[in-house]
């Protein structure tokens, strides 16, 4: 056999070796080596069959095994390399997270830890803590900690992380509220349970005397109220607040006489938990029957999406009342915002009144800061009076002494909030 014939036979063998498998009529697989052998038998003279065939078959088997082993080896190397690369990338990302944070302009300050805890950004929170940031750092504006922010903004993964790292669970902000109070108010059962299991005190009171259980009641969070009571929350605290309110009412009765409640029409009268014909806890469907032209929209308030109902009177371009509704099918009124001066309290306080008018008619419990605005709290009426501040020295003077008396008497009222 000449050299050309040998090359031709090798080409045929190579083609058969790597050709896809096929099935015969009876679905049995054809052995490529058998095919090679048959071809060789037909082409090779009888005197050369056995030695050459044996050697060629042996070479083909070795080649096939070698290729198989080589493919398996390459697969293992590539797979191992891929997973090694992924692990290396993850390690690099973890170790560089603080550097990347700084490159993004996020300064290493406690207020930023609190901000990103509220946003649920775990890598940045971990980077802060790993770099030595105080886990209980507080924000100057409101006294919040990272745990407070994560509880308020419904970030259970961050709350779990902070609790595992021994964050103080009963810390109070400037208004005296704890993470548990915020969790109960915004309706997060998972976070409420985690805080209680970590030692949160369900009977702590804020500066208004409110507890986590009272927050749950006011927001119609029945399940959370049960969780709190099962953890030792004392429902008798609600009677304490009622007694304080009665005391404030008794004190205010000695002040300057005002119109009696009977002289103010119910449609424009503001009393505790009620503005006109709308009361706290009233279902949206009942309100629609009274004000069918109200408008609904969704709005983010403190990071939470809420349904807002706006009520317009007398073709006004601005709403007279804005209602914040609770979540759930019933959509109950949780907060009433009053923007129309025609609404009056039993003591004739309206949006046209001043701080001096309020002092003459009620006992001002305290001044609060909410969203960078100052409010007078009158606990007996469950009302917050937002101050219309034009003089920048007013909040500065109040910050220095903390007394409601530091607010000038001629300061106007901008809005009334019923809660």
pLDDT of 78:
64
Residue whose C-alpha is closest to residue 347's, from 275, 413, 259 = 259
Read off the tokens for 218: 């006011």
Q: Which residue has the higher pLDDT, 71 or 3?
A: 71
The reported pLDDT for the residue numbered 273 is 81
Angle separating helix axes 156-164 and 122-130, nearest 10 degrees:
20
CA–CA dist 174, 262 (Å, integer): 39
- Mean pLDDT across the stretch 322-337? 84
Q: From CA 44, how far away is CA 52, in angstroms rounded?
A: 9
The residue written with tokens 């006004």 in the block is: 316
> Superfamily assignment of 110-235 in CATH?
Ankyrin repeat-containing domain (1.25.40.20)
Give the neighbor-by-neighbor strand order of the sheet with 274-275: 278-279, 274-275, 269-271, 344-345
pLDDT at 72 over 80: no
Which tens digit of pLDDT belongs to each residue from 213-231? Answer: 988 888 888 889 889 988 8
Cα(192)–Cα(211) distance, integer angstroms: 13
Q: Where are the alpha helices (DSSP H) in 105-236?
A: 110-119, 122-130, 146-152, 156-164, 179-186, 189-197, 212-218, 222-230
What pLDDT is attached to residue 210? 87
- The mean pLDDT of 265-284, rounded to a whole number, is 89
Q: pLDDT band at residue 29, thresholds of 50, 70 and 90?
A: very low
The band of 40, judged by pLDDT with boundaries at 50, 70 and 90, is: very low
pLDDT at residue 95, as a whole number: 40
Q: Which pLDDT does position 70 carry in this prediction?
A: 67
Burial class from Cβ neighbours inside 10 Å (0-12, 13-18, 19+) for residue 377 reads buried
Structure tokens given for 310:
């706006």
* Residues present in the chain in total: 419
Q: What angle do CA 394, 172, 196 make, to 5 degrees?
A: 155
Contact present, 338 and 319 (Cβ < 8 Å): no
Mean pLDDT within 133-138:
90
Count the helices and strands in the chain (H runs, E runs). 15, 12
Average pLDDT over residues 368-372: 76
Task: Give residue 156's pLDDT band: very low, low, confident or very high (50, 70, 90).
Answer: very high
Least confident of 29-33, 96-100, 115-119, 201-205: 29-33
Name which of 95-109, 152-166, 236-250 the model is least confident about: 236-250
281 compared with 253, residue with greater pLDDT: 281
Q: Is 139 helix (H, G, I), strand (E, B) or coil?
A: coil
Q: What is the mean pLDDT of residues 340-347?
A: 92
Instruction: Delimit the domains of the chain by residue range.
Output: 1-102, 110-235, 261-275+343-419, 277-338
Residue 416, pLDDT > 90, answer yes
Residue 247 has pLDDT above 70, yes or no: no
Q: In percent, how much of the chain has pLDDT > 70?
A: 65
Give the angle subtended at the CA of 125 by the CAs of 120 and 130, to the nearest 5°: 160
Quick check: 96 pLDDT over 50? no
pLDDT band of 158, cuts 50, 70, 90: very high
What tens digit of pLDDT does each residue of 276-313 get? Answer: 999 888 889 899 999 998 999 988 766 677 889 999 98
Confidence check: pLDDT of 9 > 90 = no
pLDDT at 239 over 80: no
Mean pLDDT value across residues 131-135: 86
Most confident of 131-135, 343-347, 387-391: 343-347
In whole angstroms, how far apart are CA 265 and each of 252, 262, 268, 280?
22, 7, 6, 19
Start-to-end CA span in the chain (Å): 105
Residue 254's pLDDT is 44
pLDDT band at 76 (very low <50, low <70, confident <90, very high): low
Taking the C-alpha atoms of residue 196 and residue 399, their distance in angstroms, rounded to an integer, is 33
pLDDT of 54 reads 56
Per-residue pLDDT for 143 more than 70? yes
């Amino acid at each position: 056999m000449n050299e050309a014939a040998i090359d031709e036979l090798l080409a045929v063998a190579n083609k058969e070796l790597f050709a896809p498998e096929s099935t015969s009529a009876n679905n049995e697989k054809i052995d490529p080596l058998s095919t090679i052998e048959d071809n060789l038998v037909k082409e090779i003279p009888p005197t050369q069959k056995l030695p050459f065939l044996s050697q060629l078959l042996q070479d083909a088997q070795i080649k096939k095994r070698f290729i198989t082993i080589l493919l398996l080896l390459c697969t293992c190397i590539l797979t191992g390399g891929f997973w090694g690369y992924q692990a290396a990338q993850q390690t690099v990302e973890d170790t560089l997270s603080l550097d990347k944070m700084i490159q993004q302009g996020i300064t290493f300050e406690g207020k930023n830890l609190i901000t990103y805890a509220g946003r649920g950004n775990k890598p940045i929170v971990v980077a802060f803590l790993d770099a030595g940031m105080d886990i209980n750092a507080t924000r100057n504006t409101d006294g919040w900690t990272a745990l407070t922010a994560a509880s308020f903004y419904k970030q259970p993964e961050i709350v779990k992380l902070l609790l595992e790292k021994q964050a103080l669970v009963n810390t109070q902000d400037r208004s005296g509220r704890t993470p548990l109070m915020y969790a109960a108010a915004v309706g997060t059962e998972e976070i409420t349970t985690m805080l209680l299991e970590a030692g949160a005190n369900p009977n702590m009171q804020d500066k208004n005397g409110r507890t986590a259980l009272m927050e749950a009641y006011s927001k119609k969070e029945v399940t959370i109220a049960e969780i709190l009571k099962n953890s030792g929350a004392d429902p008798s605290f609600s009677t304490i607040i009622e007694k304080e309110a009665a005391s404030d009412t008794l004190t205010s009765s000695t002040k300057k006489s005002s119109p009696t409640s009977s002289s103010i029409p119910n449609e424009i009268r503001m009393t505790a938990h009620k503005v006109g014909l709308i009361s706290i806890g009233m279902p949206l469907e009942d309100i629609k029957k009274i004000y069918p032209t109200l408008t609904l929209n969704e709005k983010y308030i403190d990071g939470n999406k809420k349904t807002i109902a706006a009520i317009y009177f007398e073709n006004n371009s601005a709403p007279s009342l804005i209602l914040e509704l609770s979540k759930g099918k019933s959509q109950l009124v949780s907060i009433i915002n009053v923007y129309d001066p025609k609404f009056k309290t039993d003591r004739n306080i309206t949006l046209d009144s001043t701080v001096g008018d309020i002092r003459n008619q009620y006992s001002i419990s305290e001044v609060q800061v909410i969203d960078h605005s100052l409010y007078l709290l009158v606990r007996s009426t469950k009302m917050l009076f937002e101050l219309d501040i034009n003089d920048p020295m007013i909040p500065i003077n109040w910050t220095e002494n903390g007394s409601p008396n530091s607010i000038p008497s001629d300061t106007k009222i901008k809005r009334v909030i019923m809660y």
